[in-house]
């Protein structure tokens, strides 16, 4: 069977739904969304339908078909649990040439209902011609993931600018080029981001023919390593960038998802162990954006957590370069989840502190007493180098030597390793296991929960030097 796809204008048109259950309720909602004047024939109404009836949004004829006959609807949907009624409705409608759909009975339908991706005013209807509704739903899920939630706003933006653009750019080929650039570039990005007044301003400049500075910077958190932990927005911007600046924490699997044509610039630590200085990265971001390029600054985890993202946007803002920041899953969340260690817990931790263990930062002064509060989890970034002294300091300021602690190497990747121990033995256990950066330290009673929860996590190498009392 090959179906003819159409979109019906049902505005204020009489439509009848036969049946008053939850399936009928869903169909009624769809019809109301399209502006139809809906009448329901059913002896009783599902609470959702009863609410619509009370609100005056539907008409209800209490009773059953065929005792209650069809008036002259333009469309009928039957969703009763009585197969004979459904068949009778179908036969009657077909005889009268009224389009009819019977829920879950394609052979009784003169039209079928597609799976819909709704980005109103844009709607995408998917049909497998009844062969596999599940497959159609899968396709729907993929398109849902692909299309930004605010895509409808982009359609309305295009509608709003249609006439001004036609007037300013009479040549159809030039106009098409302008629209392609608009819908694929920084202007669209601003609409999708909810900054429509900026998009309008850029559109104005584009039409005035003055060459606007079109470059911008996307400061994007790439998560802790597993590409599946990227956000939809991160992926979208990764596929739009002209050039990407990335560092050591961005895994090759993630870098693979950046647009193939994008120039790749590594700004992390080289073999010489010297990273490109932050001032130089800032200067490069500014120069590339000034040259009109879409610059992706891709960072491990979240850009605003020990990522110096704040410094980068500070410079961009000072120079008037447009930018947007996309959060990512920070190492604490990613590593904790993949290692089976909850960061808070009703019985074990009511607060969680993220801190840097980098010796340079630690030297600036740490209030150790606040870090050794009971019922608190500590997550220490960059803690490998100073691990022994951190553990010693925590013990000196009141935590028990037997206080549980774990180190997670390359969390969320296939190279993840976890060493579980206690404060007294953690540094030794880690050096025996020869863990390599990046590693994250988690200190707290919650570490003990890993034994119970770990079957959720990755298959990984695990060194467990910790034996809980009584375990």
- Closest approach, Cβ 294 to ligand SAH, in A, equals 22
One residue of 342, 438, 444, 457 binding ligand SAH per CB under 6 A: 438
- Establish if 439 lies at the interface with ligand SAH (CB under 6 A): yes
Q: Helix, strand, or coil here: 295?
A: strand
For residue 277, what are the contacts with CB-CB under 8 A and spacing of at least 6? none
Catalytic-residue membership of 299: no
Q: Which is nearer to ligand SAH, 93 or 442 (CB)?
A: 442
From the candidates 33, 118, 269, 436, which is the catalytic residue?
A: 269
- Closest approach, Cβ 325 to ligand SAH, in A, equals 12
For residue 324, what are the contacts with CB-CB under 8 A and spacing of at least 6? 189, 193, 216, 217, 218, 219, 237
What does DSSP assign to residue 448? G
For residue 5, what are the contacts with CB-CB under 8 A and spacing of at least 6? 114, 125, 127
Could you tell me if 295 and 216 are in contact, meaning their C-beta atoms sit under 8 angstroms apart?
A: yes
- Establish if 227 lies at the interface with ligand SAH (CB under 6 A): no
Could you tell me if 33 and 7 are in contact, meaning their C-beta atoms sit under 8 angstroms apart?
A: no
Q: Which is nearer to ligand SAH, 289 or 440 (CB)?
A: 440
Could you tell me if 334 and 300 are in contact, meaning their C-beta atoms sit under 8 angstroms apart?
A: no
Beta bridge partners of 244: 264, 296
Ranges within 397-416 binding ligand SAH (CB under 6 A):
408, 410-412
What is the rounded distance in angstroms from the CA atom of residue 298 to the CA atom of residue 264? 11
Catalytic-residue membership of 184: no
Q: Which is nearer to ligand SAH, 136 or 440 (CB)?
A: 440
- Establish if 237 lies at the interface with ligand SAH (CB under 6 A): no
- Closest approach, Cβ 331 to ligand SAH, in A, equals 3
- Closest approach, Cβ 305 to ligand SAH, in A, equals 4
From the candidates 226, 247, 302, 422, which is the catalytic residue?
A: 247
Could you tell me if 422 and 405 are in contact, meaning their C-beta atoms sit under 8 angstroms apart?
A: yes
Distance of CA 329 to the CA centre of its chain: 11
- Establish if 306 lies at the interface with ligand SAH (CB under 6 A): yes
One residue of 20, 73, 215, 224 binding ligand SAH per CB under 6 A: 224
Closest to 339 measured CA to CA, from 393, 379, 392: 379
- Closest approach, Cβ 287 to ligand SAH, in A, equals 24
Could you tell me if 379 and 352 are in contact, meaning their C-beta atoms sit under 8 angstroms apart?
A: yes
How big is the site for ligand SAH, counted in residues (CB under 6 A)?
A: 23
Q: Which is nearer to ligand SAH, 302 or 312 (CB)?
A: 302
Structure tokens at 205: 């400049």
Ranges within 334-393 binding ligand SAH (CB under 6 A):
335, 381-382
- Closest approach, Cβ 390 to ligand SAH, in A, equals 12
Q: Helix, strand, or coil here: 297?
A: strand
One residue of 148, 186, 300, 404 binding ligand SAH per CB under 6 A: 300
What does DSSP assign to residue 439? E
Number of Cβ atoms within 10 Å of the Cβ of 217: 25
- Closest approach, Cβ 354 to ligand SAH, in A, equals 9
One residue of 20, 73, 148, 307 binding ligand SAH per CB under 6 A: 307
Q: Binding segment for ligand SAH among 130-138, 166-174, 185-193, 299-307 (CB under 6 A)?
A: 299-307
Distance between start and end Cα atoms, the chain = 64
- Establish if 315 lies at the interface with ligand SAH (CB under 6 A): no
Alpha helices, DSSP H, located in 218-299: 232-238, 252-255, 278-290
Residues that bind ligand SAH (CB under 6 A): 224-225, 249, 299-302, 305-307, 330-331, 335, 381-382, 408, 410-412, 437-440
Which residues are part of the catalytic machinery?
A: 247, 269
């Amino acid at each position: 069977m090959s179906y003819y796809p159409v979109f019906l204008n049902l505005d204020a048109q009489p439509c009848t739904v036969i049946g008053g259950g939850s399936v009928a309720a869903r169909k009624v909602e769809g019809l109301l969304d399209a502006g139809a004047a809906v009448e329901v024939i059913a002896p009783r109404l599902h609470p959702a339908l009863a609410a619509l009836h009370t609100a005056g949004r539907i008409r209800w004829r209490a009773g059953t078909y065929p005792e209650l006959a069809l008036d002259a609807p333009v469309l009928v949907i039957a969703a009763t649990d009585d197969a004979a009624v459904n068949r009778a409705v179908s036969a009657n409608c077909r005889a009268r040439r009224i389009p009819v759909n019977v829920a879950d009975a394609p052979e009784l339908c003169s039209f079928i209902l597609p799976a819909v991706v709704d980005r109103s005013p844009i709607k995408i209807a998917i049909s497998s011609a009844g062969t596999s509704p599940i497959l159609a739903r899968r396709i729907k899920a993929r398109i849902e993931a692909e299309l930004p939630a605010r895509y409808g706003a982009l359609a309305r933006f295009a509608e709003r600018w249609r006439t001004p653009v036609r007037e300013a750019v009479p040549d159809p080929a030039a106009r098409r080029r302008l629209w392609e650039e608009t819908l694929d570039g920084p202007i669209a990005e601003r609409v999708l981001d909810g900054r429509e007044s900026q998009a309008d301003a850029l559109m104005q400049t584009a039409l005035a023919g003055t060459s606007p500075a079109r470059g911008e910077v996307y400061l994007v958190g790439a998560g802790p390593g597993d590409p599946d932990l990227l956000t939809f927005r991160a992926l979208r911007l990764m596929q739009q960038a002209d050039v990407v600046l990335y560092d050591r924490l961005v895994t090759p699997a993630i870098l693979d998802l950046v647009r193939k044509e994008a120039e790749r610039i590594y700004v992390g630590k080289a073999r010489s162990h010297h990273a490109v200085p932050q001032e130089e990265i800032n200067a490069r971001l500014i120069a590339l954006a000034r040259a009109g390029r879409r610059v992706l600054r891709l960072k491990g985890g979240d850009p605003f957590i020990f990522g110096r993202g704040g410094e980068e946007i500070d410079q961009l803002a000072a120079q008037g370069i447009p930018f947007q920041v996309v959060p990512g899953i920070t190492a604490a969340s990613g590593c904790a989840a993949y290692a089976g260690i909850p960061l808070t817990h009703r019985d074990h931790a009511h607060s969680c502190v993220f801190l840097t263990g980098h010796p340079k930062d630690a030297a600036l002064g740490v209030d150790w007493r606040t870090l050794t509060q009971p019922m608190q989890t500590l997550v220490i970034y960059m803690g490998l180098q100073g691990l022994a002294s951190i553990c010693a300091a925590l013990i000196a300021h009141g935590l028990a030597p037997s206080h549980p602690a774990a180190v997670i190497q390359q969390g969320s990747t296939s190279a993840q390793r976890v060493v579980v121990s206690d404060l007294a033995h953690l540094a030794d256990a880690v050096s025996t296991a020869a863990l390599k950066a990046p590693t994250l330290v988690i200190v707290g009673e919650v570490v003990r929960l890993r034994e119970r929860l770990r079957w959720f996590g990755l298959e990984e190498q695990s060194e467990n030097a910790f034996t809980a009392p009584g375990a």
